[in-house]
Amino acid sequence: MKDCNQCGKCCTLYGGDGLSVSDEEIAWWEDYRPDIAAYVRGGEIWISPVTGNQLLSCPWLRKLPNQNKYTCEIYFDRPEECKQYPVTIEEMIRDGCEMLEPKDLERPKQAQKTLDLLMADSRPPIQD
């Protein structure tokens, strides 16, 4: 499995209304990151503070100039769901994740174990 190359597929696919956050995350943002909390309405995230409409993409995702790379402006304070992605090899395949190598596709169970190790600090491993 390759290192993440910041292709942004995960964020562009799931950065709009496809994310959920806990009440605890919202409360933390309200206390410590009001700039993020400004995009929360009624427990839903990425709501425009200007129009009140659901945004189609994450307001914190930025494409790096002259590159096919993205960066997250709230990386350390992003939603738990973002921190835990990707969870499964199947999810990575579906989303066209560029971390996957041919050997990962040939041996998905081994690739899942590798992914679980890579993500150990972000989420609990998948139980067989």
For 75-86, write each residue's pLDDT tens digit. 999 998 888 888
CA distance between the termini of the chain: 20
Alpha-carbon distance 21 to 24, whole Å?
8
pLDDT tens-digit readout, 111-128: 999 998 888 887 655 565
* High-pLDDT (> 70) share of the chain, %: 95
% the chain with pLDDT above 90: 64
What are the structural domain ranges in the chain?
Answer: 9-118
What is the model's pLDDT at position 66? 94
CB atoms within 10 A of CB 14: 17
User: Residue range 20-36: average pLDDT?
Assistant: 96
Radius of gyration of the chain (CA): 16
Q: What is the mean pLDDT of residues 24-33?
A: 97
Mean pLDDT score of the chain = 89
pLDDT of 72 over the 90 cut: yes
Specify burial of residue 37 (Cβ count, 10 A radius: 0-12, 13-18, 19+): middle
Return all residues near 119 (Cβ < 8 A) that are at least 6 apart.
84, 86, 87, 125
pTM of the model: 0.80
Residue 25 CA to residue 98 CA, distance in Å, equals 29
Q: Which pLDDT value is given to residue 15?
A: 72
Type of residue at 33: R
